[in-house]
């Protein structure tokens, strides 16, 4: 056996998987555990600051001005829709309808962009109109400034994830378009889907904590 070409043999060994799922998928799961813990840390900070005696937290429903939670509820809906369309990408790819898979992928990316757009609009409104003390030392915050601080760090960190997700999905889309991703290899799309669903799931948590409770 020693005569066998080492690298050839090694190539045949790469991709050997003990658990029957791909390395990529396992890696993504592990990555998501770690990401979930980062969010958990931020949420724990939020919880501690909010439910501390004398924290003077406003009722979120009243505190967001005209963008309110209605707009964010709509935004949540859009994000969930883009998660659903992500499922379609995979489903169509498995059926071999690459054209449709591409269309659903575009739809998913579009959903992410709309989400970011609405969030940007909301942030602008909050920074400019609602919380003048952010810029102007003269203004007193009407209530605990931690309301805004935790809001920005949680929604901001999530928004960063959405942005990364949009780019990620765009790369997948380009892969689909150039034919690098074929109907036989669904793992790339599946892994991207894991990430995107995770971002969606975390948003539901963040939305619940920051806006609803």
Pick from 69, 89, 126, 148: which binds another protein (CB under 8 A)?
148
Decide whether 44 or 174 has the Cβ nearer to another protein.
44
- Regarding 149 and contact with another protein (CB under 8 A), the answer is yes
Pick from 98, 153, 170, 205: which binds another protein (CB under 8 A)?
153
- Regarding 18 and contact with another protein (CB under 8 A), the answer is yes
Span interacting with another protein, options 106-114, 142-150, 171-179, 204-212, rule CB under 8 A: 142-150
Buried b / exposed e along 2-29 (16+ C-beta atoms within 10 A): eeeeeeeeeeeeeeeeeeeebeeeeebe
- Regarding 42 and contact with another protein (CB under 8 A), the answer is yes
- Regarding 74 and contact with another protein (CB under 8 A), the answer is no
Output the DSSP codes for 145-176.
THHHHHHHHHHHHHHHHHHHHHHHHHHHHHHH
Dist CA 10 CA 49 (whole Å): 54
- Regarding 62 and contact with another protein (CB under 8 A), the answer is no
- Regarding 52 and contact with another protein (CB under 8 A), the answer is yes
Helix axes 23-50, 187-207, angle to 10 degrees: 10
- Regarding 130 and contact with another protein (CB under 8 A), the answer is no
Can you say how many angstroms the Cα of residue 125 is from the centroid of all Cα atoms in its chain? Answer: 22
Nearest to 165 by CA among 121, 202, 112: 112
- Regarding 123 and contact with another protein (CB under 8 A), the answer is no
Q: What's the DSSP call for residue 15?
A: T
Residues that bind another protein (CB under 8 A): 1-2, 4, 6-7, 9-10, 12-14, 16-19, 21-23, 26-27, 30-31, 33-35, 37-42, 44-45, 48-49, 52, 55-56, 133-134, 137, 144-146, 148-150, 152-153, 157
């Amino acid at each position: 056996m020693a005569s066998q070409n080492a690298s050839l043999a090694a190539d045949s060994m790469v991709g050997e998987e003990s658990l029957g799922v791909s390395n990529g998928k396992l890696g993504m799961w592990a990555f998501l555990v770690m990401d979930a813990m980062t969010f958990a840390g931020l949420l724990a900070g939020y919880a501690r600051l909010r439910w501390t005696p004398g924290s003077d937290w406003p009722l979120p429903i009243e505190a967001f001005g005209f963008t309110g939670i209605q707009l964010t509820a709509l935004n949540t809906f859009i994000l969930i829709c883009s998660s659903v369309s992500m499922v379609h990408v995979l489903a169509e790819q498995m059926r071999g309808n690459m054209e449709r898979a591409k269309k659903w992928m575009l739809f998913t990316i579009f959903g992410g962009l709309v989400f970011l757009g609405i969030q940007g609009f909301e942030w602008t409104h909050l920074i400019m109109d609602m919380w003048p003390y952010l810029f102007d030392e003269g203004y007193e915050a009407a209530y605990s400034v931690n309301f805004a601080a935790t809001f920005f760090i949680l929604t901001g960190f999530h928004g960063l994830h959405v942005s990364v997700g949009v780019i990620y999905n765009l790369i997948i889309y380009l892969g689909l378009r150039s034919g690098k991703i074929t109907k036989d290899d669904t793992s790339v799309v599946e892994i991207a889907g894991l990430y995107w669903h995770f971002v969606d799931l975390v948003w539901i948590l963040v939305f619940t904590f920051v806006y609803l409770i």
